[in-house]
Amino acid sequence: MSLQLLIVGGGIGGLAAALALGRGGHRVDVLEQAARFEEFGAGIQLGPNVVRRLRALGVEPALQDVAARPTRLSVRSVQGGDELARMVFDAARVRRYGAPYLCVHRADLHAVLLGALKAQGPSRLSLHTGARVSRIATRGGEAVCAAADDTRAWEADGLVGADGLWGATRARVIEHDAPPHRTGHTAWRALLAQAALPQALRSDRIQIWLGARVHVVAYPVRAGDFLNVVVLAEAAPPEGAGLDARGWDQEASLDTLRQATRQAGAGLRALLDAVPAWRAWTLHDRPPLQGPAQMAQARIALLGDAAHPMLPYLAQGAGMAIEDAATLAEVLAGVDAGQLPAAFAQYAAQRWARNARVQARARRNARIFHATGLLRWGRDWAMRLGGARVLDVPWLYAG
Ligand SMILES: Cc1cc2nc3c(=O)[nH]c(=O)nc-3n(C[C@H](O)[C@H](O)[C@H](O)COP(=O)(O)OP(=O)(O)OC[C@H]3O[C@@H](n4cnc5c(N)ncnc54)[C@H](O)[C@@H]3O)c2cc1C
């Protein structure tokens, strides 16, 4: 049984869905507003739960070529730099979760997915760029789903909204939906060539420094050749500087970054000072999903950030989009056009609670990572005592 499907959005979630659905024998049109299929930004971490799904999509060998395989996760304090806890990524851990933990530049992951998609051939896939979908409709007693931009229109049996935090599809699934809210948190990201760094700053591990209302993450990407550094702070440049952080006056943004990291001890300070240029992102959020109806409605399903954006404090936003894609392909196997609404409902029923749990955990991590006072004291004590047990998330990585 082969369906005709539209996917709005060609980010990591949209491409993973196209790949999974194409492998399932369905015919897919991917509609991407940008002029080219490409990803910007910096690194992303992929837990074993995500790497297993990517393996099932047949892209693990290509991913291993471009990813870095960190040796361990090491958590330190921003001020003193002393290690609070560590989790070693050893063979036993790979056996337990069935896959390694990887770090990859998002452009590399996007390119791996795109390459695998193109290899499927044109009979199952059409990629449309410059296609900013602004109108979505269901017609003919819901038998046809249509999307249109200013000049073109497409029809299919069903539509998957993978159009991210600000996408157009969500409004077709959730009535009276509020817009994403500003969290007041900002992420500054940078990429450093390891070869250009002093030996002491080069790293083959994921490092996290926890401070008051701020934390810093660094990990290798691009087969270990680059170090991805991210500062995440409960701080934002002054109001009126614009909603999109990329449009900010860089000096205003950098002043805020300097303020947020002024507590950094010598080791971390040296790393931050080695960064030649930062890019800033304002972090927006939505409340965790409350039920399956927020992920699918009749012939329209939502996937990834379009359905469940999350703070990057559990490093699983793209991961959940990839998990969504895998489940979507599973529930659509052997389904005909008449059964599609029921299959989308089944997809939503299978995915919403896990996505909501990950969203909630990411929010909780924000409070723990940025703790001050007694909560901070309790966190540090628990980390020193519990070590890897506190850092591991078995329900997530084994799920
Ligand atoms: C600082 C930071 C660090 C992060 N770290 C991690 C990490 O370590 N691990 C992890 O798993 N996740 C991480 N994430 C989260 C991850 O980046 C997102 O969850 C993920 O990119 C979502 O993918 P998506 O495909 O759902 O949406 P997007 O990446 O937003 O893609 C949506 C696509 O839809 C297109 N689009 C939008 N509107 C339209 C329209 N109307 N018509 C056509 N096309 C449209 C867009 O151009 C875009 O290509 C991080 C996020 C941030 C901000």
351 φ, ψ (degrees, to nearest 5) = -100, -30
Sign of CA dihedral 229, 88, 68, 323: negative
Whether ligand 1 lies within 6 angstroms of the CB of 70 is answered as: no
Rounded to the nearest whole angstrom, what is the distance from the C-alpha of residue 389 to the centroid of ligand 1? 30
Contacts of 132 (CB under 8 A, 6+ apart): 33, 149, 150
Contacts of 39 (CB under 8 A, 6+ apart): 11, 12, 106, 107, 109, 110, 111
Angle at 261 between CA 256 and CA 263, to 5 degrees: 135
Q: Please give the chain's pLDDT, 399 residues, in tens.
A: 799 999 999 999 999 999 999 999 999 999 999 998 877 778 999 999 999 999 999 999 999 999 999 999 999 999 988 899 999 999 999 999 999 999 999 999 999 999 999 998 888 899 999 999 998 988 754 556 777 877 889 999 999 999 999 999 999 999 889 999 989 999 999 999 999 999 999 999 999 999 999 999 999 999 999 999 999 999 987 765 544 555 566 666 888 999 999 999 999 999 999 999 898 888 999 999 999 999 999 999 999 999 999 999 999 999 999 999 999 999 999 999 999 999 999 999 999 999 999 999 999 999 999 999 999 999 999 999 999 999 999 999 999
CA distance 5 to 12: 17
Whether ligand 1 lies within 6 angstroms of the CB of 307 is answered as: no
- Nearest residue (by CA) to ligand 1, atom 28, is 164
Whether ligand 1 lies within 6 angstroms of the CB of 312 is answered as: yes
Q: Is residue 324 a contact partner of residue 307, using CB atoms and an 8 Å limit? A: yes
CA distance 382 to 379: 5
Beta bridge partners, 210, equal: 77, 215
DSSP assignment of 243-306, as one string?
SSGGGS-HHHHHHHHHHHTTT--HHHHHHHHT-S--EEEEEEE-PPP-SGGGTEETTEEE-GGG
Q: Catalytic pick from 219, 313, 347, 397? A: 219
Angle at 148 between CA 144 and CA 149, to 5 degrees: 175
Whether ligand 1 lies within 6 angstroms of the CB of 9 is answered as: yes
Q: Is residue 32 a contact partner of residue 128, using CB atoms and an 8 Å limit? A: yes
Looking at ligand 1, which atom is closest to the CA of residue 169? 41
- Nearest of 115, 101, 102, 113 to residue 12 by alpha carbon: 113
Cβ neighbour number for residue 274 with a 10 Å cutoff: 15
219 is catalytic: yes
Whether ligand 1 lies within 6 angstroms of the CB of 230 is answered as: yes
Rounded to the nearest whole angstrom, what is the distance from the C-alpha of residue 321 to the centroid of ligand 1? 9
